[in-house]
Every structure is written in C-alpha cells, then in structure tokens.
C-alpha cells in the first residue's frame, strides 16, 4: 500500500476500468468531454482519477439528464456520467461486483455476468408450459425510488472496504443536471450509471429475491432488474402472492406498477379455462397462445413467445427514419453496410423465437428499398412490380448483401407467389404490389 495515500486503489485497476468503459462506448457527460477527447491526454487523465480516488478526494460531478423515447411512448430519463466518472464507477464496480455476485440467486438475470435476456426468456417459456398462471409485475420508477438507507445497509453487509463505501454513497447522492438546473438526489440511483445496475440488483436481492425464496418456495420466479415473472399453479395463489408482493414493496418504499402488473392464464390446447388476460410481454417478447406443429405435422396451440407489437412498431418507425427514399446518391452496398449492424441486432435478439413474426416486420426494409429503386432509376418510377422484381433478382444473386436476406427474409409468400407466376394479369399484379408496397411504407 502506498503510505502517502489514504486508500489502496491500484493503477492497474483504473486502467482495466478505462478499457471496459471504452468497450462500452457511450456519450459525453456534463463537461462535454467525449471518450475521444479524454484519450488525447489519456495518461494524465487516468492518473488524476487514480490520485483522487486513492486519496479520498474524488467527488463525482453532476449526472447529465438525457431523455430517451420509450417504445410505448413517453420518455425515460437516463443519467449520463462524465467519461472520467464512468471510469471511477467502473473501478468500484469491478471490486464490489466480485463480492456480491456469488450471493445473487439463479433467477435474477438483469445486467449480470454470463446471464442474458435470452436466458430469462428461455426459462420463462419452459415454466409457462408447466404452470397455468403467471403473475407479471413491474416496479414503478425503481431507479428513482431506491431508499438510500436500505441500500447502504445491504452494501455494508457485503463489503467493509472504506473507499468502496465512501464512493458508492457519494454516487448515490450525486445531483442531476437538466439543462442549467441542478437537481439534488434524495433517493434512487442514476439510471445510466455504471455502478447503478449492481446496486439495484443488490437492493432487489433482499427486497424481492430472498423474500420469495423464504415465503414462496414452490413458486418459481424470474426477474430482469425491475421486470419480473412469478409462476403459479392456480389463480387464487397468483392473487394472494400479488397482495403479499404489494405489501412487501411498500415496506421497502417501492410500488408495483398498477397497469403493468397483472395475472395471466397461459392458455393452450390443454387448458380450457377462460380469463381476461391470456398474454403478457416480457423483455419485448409477447407470450401468448400460438399455433405450433407436433409429430407428423399435427397442429396444436401452445403458449409461446415472439416479438411484441411495441417492438414491431419501434422497428418499423426506425426503418422509416432511415429515409432510404432520399439516399439515391448511395449504392445498395453502401446502404447495406450502414444498416446491417442494426438489422443484425434485431435478428440476434428477436429472431430466437417466432421468426415468422419478425419476418413480417423486416420485410418492410425490402419495401423501402423498392421505393429507393423507383426514385433512383427513372425507368422504374411508375413500375412498382418491376422494382420489386429487380430487388428479388439482386437478392437471389447476392443473398448475403443484407443481413435479413441471409436468413431468407424477403417478401411475404403470397406476394412472392404473385411475382413468380408473373401475376394473373399485368394490371392486377401492379395493383396488388402497389397497394402492398404503399401499405407497408406508410404503415405506422
């Protein structure tokens, strides 16, 4: 330990924290210093962080408030720390997470090492086949309402490291800067902070996870930060747990969201009861009765996940915002290079279950590309069916150009059939494809 310093903070740890922050990217905070600007004088900037943290004189600057549109409307306010503050938070996170992670329960999935949203969806899918009822709950404003006294009590249970305790407490109290206004923080942790997810998980570990383990041992649950699922055998059990859960959260100064918390019947071919709710959305996947095929292609109804309607709408709006119609100065390869990372992300996340539902959404990219062709090339200006035919020929020759082409997402089968048969009559074909194209282009 450096005898001239109050705390033993390793320089290597600071550098490791910088590398992780760099990998996560992110925007500038209140000082408008981006990661690129920070790296111009990297050695000195990292030294300043180490020097202040190891001497106990590091005080976090205000967190920049940024409004992010929600998929279902409205906005979510994220708190964006400065680059230097993100590195400092990462220093503490690396140390502190090692101490608490081993105590977290298996069915807590949000923002944890070696766990993902897909893991939570997988286990929920399996349990909905075994249990008839689901209690879906959402915690109202979790990040804004975590009680600091309760949280610090949980933190002290897992660490006695003085500099970890000092800086965690300072970050909890760091103010928010919205424009020129500085807002003091009395409760909660910044949504967007590096240290916030592990602190939130720790708080809910004692508020919910351990409470469920003690009181409802026969009811499996799955939690992804503030969204959760509890599986139940019968309706009365779900109703009872909901009431107990409301009381529990009140004790911990939290509240479940009344509109987003509901009881769902996992209806399928073998479940004949009637209930007002037979679907729920978890992590942007909607679980509901869907047609499935069993042995010998026999159809039946199963309770399955697929991309939610809100996620579909968000993707369609995003595609429209690309404004491909005004990119006639670009080539098709340029467009593919620019947007393939986004399309790949959609495929990787939403393509695991219910691929057919995702296909219907990503086909909108093809319709927009058809309008791009019609605007770029004069001879296709009033010939929508020929533009679609050209795009299909390109896709057949270069099926790896766009990410969704690689997995065969082109046009709906009924439209493809019309093209392959060259339509019943030319005018009918033009009419059908023009209507289909305009419908997808202007559909909100």
Model pLDDT for residues 262-295, shown as the tens digit of each residue: 999 999 999 999 999 999 999 999 999 999 988 8
Q: What is the pLDDT of residue 432?
A: 44
Cβ pair 441, 367 in contact under 8 A: yes
Asked if 374 and 384 touch (Cβ cutoff 8 Å), the reply is yes
d(CA 25, CA 17): 12
- Beta-bridge mates of residue 178: 181
**Pure H helices in 252-293:** none
Low-confidence ranges of the chain (pLDDT < 50): 413-444
- State how far the Cα of 269 lies from the Cα of 301, in Å rounded to an integer: 5
Q: Who's near 421: CB < 8 A, 6+ residues apart?
A: none
* pLDDT attached to residue 435: 43
Q: What span, in angstroms and rounded, lies between the C-alpha atoms of 82 and 422? A: 59
Q: d(Cα 147, Cα 131) in Å, to the nearest integer? A: 34
- Residue appearing with tokens 């709950």: 137
CA–CA distance, 436 with 401 (Å, rounded to integer): 24
Closest among 405, 402, 431 to 418, alpha carbons compared = 431
Give pLDDT, residue 289.
97
Place of tokens 């439209």: 415
Domains and CATH numbers, the chain: 11-265 (3.30.70.270), 308-436 (no CATH)
**11-24 and 83-100 are packed helices; what angle lies between their axes, rounded to 10 degrees?**
110
Please give the pLDDT value at position 101.
96
Contact assessment for residue 164 and residue 96, using Cβ atoms and an 8 Å cutoff: yes
The kind and range of the H/E element at 199 are: helix 196-204
Structural Rg of the chain based on CA atoms: 26
Q: Which residues contact 309 (CB under 8 A, 6 or more apart)?
A: 286
Structure tokens at 208: 């919910």
Distance in angstroms (rounded) separating the CA atoms of residues 124 and 287: 9
Residue 320: which region, alpha, beta or left (left: phi > 0; alpha: psi -120 to 50)?
alpha
Give the burial string for 2-35 (b: 16+ CB within 10 Å, else e).
eeeeebebeeebbeebbeebbeeeeebbbeeeeb
User: How crowded is residue 322: how many other Cβ atoms within 10 Å of its Cβ?
Assistant: 16
Contact of 198 with 204, CB cutoff 8 Å: no
pLDDT at position 381 is 83
């Amino acid at each position: 330990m450096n005898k001239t310093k109050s705390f033993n903070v390793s320089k290597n740890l600071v550098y490791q924290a910088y590398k992780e922050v760099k990998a996560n990217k992110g925007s500038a905070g209140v000082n408008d210093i981006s990661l690129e600007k920070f790296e111009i004088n990297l050695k000195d900037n990292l030294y300043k962080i180490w020097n202040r943290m190891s001497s106990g004189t590091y005080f976090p600057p205000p967190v920049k408030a940024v409004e992010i549109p929600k998929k279902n409307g409205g906005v979510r306010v994220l708190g964006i720390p400065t680059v230097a503050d993100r590195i400092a938070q990462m220093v503490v996170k690396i140390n502190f997470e090692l101490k608490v992670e081993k105590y977290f329960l298996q069915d807590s999935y949000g923002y944890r090492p070696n766990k993902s949203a897909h893991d939570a969806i997988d286990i929920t899918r399996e349990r909905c086949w075994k249990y008839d009822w689901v209690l879906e709950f959402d915690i109202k404003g979790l990040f804004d309402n975590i009680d600091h006294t309760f949280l610090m009590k949980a933190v002290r249970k897992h660490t006695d490291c003085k500099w970890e305790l000092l800086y965690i407490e300072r970050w909890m109290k760091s103010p928010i800067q919205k424009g020129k206004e500085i807002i003091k923080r009395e409760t909660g942790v910044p949504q967007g902070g590096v240290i916030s997810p592990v602190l939130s998980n720790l708080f809910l570990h004692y508020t919910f996870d351990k409470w469920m383990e003690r009181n409802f041992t026969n009811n499996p649950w799955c939690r992804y930060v503030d969204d959760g699922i509890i599986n139940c055998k019968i309706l009365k059990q779900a109703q009872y747990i909901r009431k107990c859960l409301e009381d529990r959260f009140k004790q911990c100064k939290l509240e479940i969201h009344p509109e987003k918390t509901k009881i769902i019947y996992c209806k399928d071919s073998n479940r004949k009861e009637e209930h007002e709710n037979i679907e729920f959305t978890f992590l942007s996947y909607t679980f509901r009765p869907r047609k499935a095929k069993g042995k010998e292609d026999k159809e039946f109804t199963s309770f399955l996940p697929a991309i939610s309607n809100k996620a579909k709408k968000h993707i369609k709006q995003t595609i429209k915002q690309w404004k491909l119609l005004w990119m006639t100065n670009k080539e098709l390869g340029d467009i593919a290079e620019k947007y393939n990372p986004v399309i790949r992300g959609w495929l990787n996340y939403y393509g695991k279950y219910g691929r057919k539902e995702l296909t219907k959404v990503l086909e909108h990219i093809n319709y927009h590309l058809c309008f791009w062709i019609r605007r770029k090339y004069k001879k296709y200006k009033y010939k929508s069916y020929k533009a679609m035919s050209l795009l299909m020929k390109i896709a057949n020759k270069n099926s790896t150009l766009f990410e969704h082409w690689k997995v065969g997402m082109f046009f709906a089968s009924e439209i493809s059939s019309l093209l392959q048969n060259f339509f019943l009559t030319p005018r009918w074909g033009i009419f059908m494809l023009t209507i289909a194209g305009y419908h997808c282009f202007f559909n909100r």
